[in-house]
Amino acid sequence: MAFDNMTKSLKKIAGLTLTAAVIGAIAVPAASAQRRGSDTPPPAEGRQFGSASGAIVNEALTLMNSNQYGPAISKLNEAMALELNPYERSTTLQMMGSAYYEQNNYPQAISSFENAINAGGLLPKESTALRLNIAQLLIASGRNSEGATMLENYINQGNTVKPQYIDMLVGAWVQAEDYRRALPWAEKWFNAANPKERKHFDLLNFLYNNLGMTGKQADIVKQMLQRFPEDRTLWDTWASMLSNGGREDDAFEVKKMLYLGGALKSENDIMQVVQYYSYYEMPYQAAQILEREMNAGVVSKNTDRLIQLSDLLRQAREYKKAIPILEQAASSAGSGKVYAQLGEALYNDAQCDKAEAAFKQSINLGYNRGKAWMLIATCRYEESQAQERIDCEWSDERKANAPRTKMRDVADAAFAQVPGSSSESRSAVKWRQFIRAEAQAVENRCIFEANVEKELCFVEIKQAYAAQVFKGGDFILSNPDKCQQYVAEYDSIYRVKVEN
Q: How confident is the model at residue 257 (pLDDT cuts 50, 70, 90)?
A: low
Q: Which of 77, 93, 120 is nearest to 21 (CA)?
A: 93
Average pLDDT over residues 454-470: 80
pLDDT, tens digit, 9 for 90 and up, residues 6-30 = 333 333 333 334 433 443 444 444 4
CATH number at residue 132: 1.25.40.10
In degrees, rounded to 5, the angle at the alpha carbon of residue 176 between the alpha carbons of residues 172 and 178 is: 100
Q: What is the pLDDT of residue 239?
A: 64
Please check whether residue 103 lies inside any domain of the structure: yes
Average pLDDT over residues 248-276: 69
Dist. CA 80–CA 103, nearest whole Å: 20
Q: What is the pLDDT of residue 54?
A: 92
Please check whether residue 28 lies inside any domain of the structure: yes
Please check whether residue 312 lies inside any domain of the structure: no
Cis peptide before 41 (omega within 30 of 0): no
Q: What is the DSSP letter of 6?
A: G
Q: What size, in residues, is the chain?
A: 500
**Higher per-residue confidence, 355 vs 46:** 355
Q: Is the pLDDT of residue 127 over 80?
A: yes
Q: Is the pLDDT of residue 214 over 70?
A: yes
Average pLDDT over residues 473-495: 82
Q: How confident is the model at residue 105 (pLDDT cuts 50, 70, 90)?
A: very high
User: By residue range, what is the domain housing residue 88?
Assistant: 1-141
pLDDT, tens digit, 9 for 90 and up, residues 185-208 = 989 988 888 888 888 888 888 898
Dist. CA 170–CA 183, nearest whole Å: 8
Q: Is the pLDDT of residue 158 over 80?
A: yes
Q: How confident is the model at residue 145 (pLDDT cuts 50, 70, 90)?
A: very high
Q: What is the DSSP letter of 478?
A: S
Last residue of a domain, one of 125, 141, 157: 141
Q: What is the pLDDT of residue 19?
A: 37
Dist. CA 482–CA 490, nearest whole Å: 14
pLDDT, tens digit, 9 for 90 and up, residues 384-440 = 898 888 888 888 899 888 898 999 999 999 999 999 999 999 999 999 999 899 888
Please check whether residue 362 lies inside any domain of the structure: no
- Show Cβ contacts of residue 26 under 8 Å, excluding neighbours closer than 6 positions: 57, 61, 64, 91, 95, 98
Q: What is the pLDDT of residue 7?
A: 34
Last residue of a domain, one of 79, 109, 141: 141
Average pLDDT, the chain: 81
Q: Tell me the Cα Rg of the chain.
A: 49
Q: What is the pLDDT of residue 456?
A: 82
Please check whether residue 464 lies inside any domain of the structure: yes
Q: What percent of the chain has pLDDT over 70?
A: 82
Give Cα separations from 209 to 53, 193, 213, 464, 467 (angstroms): 57, 21, 6, 100, 104
Q: What is the pLDDT of residue 248?
A: 67
Provide the whole-model pTM.
0.48
* 137: phi then psi, degrees, rounded to nearest 5: -65, -40
Q: What is the pLDDT of residue 241?
A: 64
Q: Is the pLDDT of residue 300 over 90?
A: no
Please check whether residue 62 lies inside any domain of the structure: yes
Q: How confident is the model at residue 113 (pLDDT cuts 50, 70, 90)?
A: very high
Q: How confident is the model at residue 2 (pLDDT cuts 50, 70, 90)?
A: very low
The least confident of 196-200, 386-390, 444-448, 493-497 is 493-497
Q: What is the pLDDT of residue 419?
A: 93
Average pLDDT over residues 27-52: 53
Last residue of a domain, one of 141, 174, 209: 141
Please check whether residue 120 lies inside any domain of the structure: yes
**Higher per-residue confidence, 28 vs 479:** 479
In the chain, the number of structural domains is 2
Q: What is the pLDDT of residue 13?
A: 33
pLDDT, tens digit, 9 for 90 and up, residues 306-324 = 888 888 888 888 888 888 8
Q: Is the pLDDT of residue 137 over 90?
A: yes
Q: What is the pLDDT of residue 151?
A: 93
Q: How confident is the model at residue 125 (pLDDT cuts 50, 70, 90)?
A: very high
- In Å, the largest CA–CA distance within the chain is 176
Q: Is the pLDDT of residue 345 over 70?
A: yes
Q: What percent of the chain has pLDDT over 90?
A: 33
